[in-house]
Structure 1
Amino acid sequence: MSLDTAELALKSQFPGLAGDWHYLDTAATAQKPQAVIDATVAAMGRDYATVHRGVYARSADMTLAFEAARRRTAAFLNAEEDEIVFTRGATESINLVAQSWAAANLKAGDRILLSTLEHHSNIVPWQLLRNGVEIDVCPLDAEGRIDLEAAERILTPAHKLVAFAHVSNVLGSVLHVEHAAKLAHAVGAKLLIDGCQAAPRLALDVKAFDCDFYAFSAHKLYGPTGIGVLWARKEILEGMQPWQGGGSMIDKVTFEKTTYAPAPQRFEAGTPNIVEAIGMAAAMDWLAAIGLNRAEKHERDLAVLLRSELRKRNDVTLFGPDDSLGIVSFALDGVHPHDLGTILDEEGVAIRAGHHCAQPLMEHLGVPATARASFGLYSDESDIEALLKGIERTRRIFG
């Protein structure tokens, strides 16, 4: 399986992939292209200063760059600039909604609908509400997609929030967000979408989706760790109270009373992740230049190829739909995924092995863990070839 010139040129942009190493753990975190590294190094070095409060020129320039990152993020989502809240990642974004919007608007007797395939970050924040709100779980269909026909049967006016993953981090199955929004809004519920696995692979348009909240992390988007996004409709953000207090999120502070800045600043207490925001914007620019349509097709094609190769074996169980988006989870008969991952590492192949922060889904699948290979734009057929070779060696070791 040889690489063409375009694939070699793309892969060469990633210093973390130098040498004979096959990285198949992009769903956990993506490697970083040199363009993103250069942007973050410049922001942390030559251009570095604080933002918003400095009266000197470099601080003003850095403030412009930081707010330009917000505009870039808004464009990435087809949203408005003042609807973009910078957070530490999707986990914090979902917790923000839980502790601000949900804590104020949900009461005992209200219900939240999640799905069987949710990441723990879209389960635990709702459990932490402890205000008598009940959680219902939407099942999956036979192929591992969120069963929206079942969701329609489950939903009642008591449901105030539906929170679903756009793309499963285990199965690679894709949610029809517009349909989910229609179902949620039909009973008066809001729709929150966990977009971590979708953002690097799909063109996003929150206006077309008609959801109410959208969250994702930059580090899965070829950007830095420590920065993420919460998008919410402007009218919803304006009605939400801060969930953390400190500098930057205030209007005026006295010991008697504090008034808050307008959204989104009221949700960004403290010195923000300046460098990381600039790095995230650089990642969005890089990905746009490559093309999200190319990313989606490339990763779907690799997933189809890997599933086809694994299906030739009689000792592998595959999970998820055949058209999974860049993520393939599987089990090798008689071999714990951790053992498989260890042997593959000896072969220069990096996969994820475990429950992938989706323990309820593992219970549904009837396994304690799975092996997961996940692709990025830098992935190619040589990675699949190395993985298959490592699986064959594992089989020989375990008999």
Structure 2
Amino acid sequence: MPILMAVTVCVGVVAGAGGMCLGLLLHYIQHVAYGYSMHRLLSTQSFLQGVTNSTPERRIEALLVCSVVAGLGWWAMYRFGKPLVSVDKALKSDDPRTPVVSTVVNALLQIITVGLGSPLGREGAPREVGATLAGWLSHRIGLTPQESRVMVACGAGAGLAAVYNVPLSGTLFVLEVLLGTFTTAAAIPALLTSVIAATVAWIGLGNDAQYTVPTFELSDSLMAWSMLIGPIFGFAAYGFSRLVNMARSHAPRDWRLLPSCLLAFLLIGLAAIFYPQLLGNGKGPIQLGFNDGVSLQMAAILLILKALAMLICLRAGAGGGLLTPGMSLGAMLAIVMGGLWNHAFPVVPPGAYAIVGAAAFLAASMRMPITAIVMAVELTRVDHDYLFPVVFAVAGSSAALRICIRRFDKIHTPSMTLHKE
């Protein structure tokens, strides 16, 4: 027991340090690529503001660099490195270790390309690194296969907790998504590693909420909308998941990676001349949506273009997470649906719809309703009353997802979920 406790603490520390370093690297690349806040990694100027203030030529140049890094980097990794092993696959093995070098290279490529403007997410990198370090440490200490699996899952959850400062969400991600159990034996190390990792990451990333939101008043109109609209987000998340799987299954793994990435990121760079909100993992558009900074028309445009940009990148062979990008799709869809609702019913601020929609889409797309509810609160730190519309919408989206799975999936395939990397 003392050895297992020591390993648990070590996993939390190394996952937190890894998430912090990857987060700082992301900020550094963003600042250099788009020329803003050059003297401070953590500044009041956001990535979206930096991109918006940059010239169109600089955006295209950054995306071309991104395409070269993505194409050559992933080609070299597939050509010379050991095959990647996802966290989910590792947890089903008697030896839950993942290849250290290939995993770290894959994580660095994700962070670098997202920093340069890739529309995919950054959360996959710290999860993978945390799980890899936990597996390596567990093997060196000599833990049993079951203990090692728990530690690997905790490492992944701790990496998520560190990079987003969401210790409770990291804990629930381990229990609900990765291990599928809420036993005490799993809950204690999951909670401990996530809290330690988030605390360690404060050293470099600070103890701030990821999003700032105004105070919204809970209304009957919003409650009714949340009860009725949830299934739409479930159906949308299911459809997008199918498209994601198709894009990934047809992505090249050979010399075609470079030309594919060149074409994909060039198209995104050209679109970013007019819509700089497309660049990055989607945090910028989400923040605008929460602060009522996106019109119904702009939300519809960003919803379509963001989804296309993500699918194009995945089809080209680029890697990255889909948590924040998925939330951005949910937020934009919510603003569109909420704007239509406001024409017939008492008006609700668009930002209120965006919070609910982001949580509902996240819950269905990653099949983690409990984690999504808690994450929506941790990321925004909204008032407790906001749990009610969020829970109603998440319940509706999750129920719709189950209907889609039973109706359209003859055999349930876990690879449908967006959290699979």
Higher helix share: 2
Which structure shows the bigger proportion of residues in strand conformation? Answer: 1
Q: TM-score, normalised by structure 1?
A: 0.25
> With structure 2 as the length reference, what TM-score do the two structures score?
0.24
Which has the larger Rg? 1
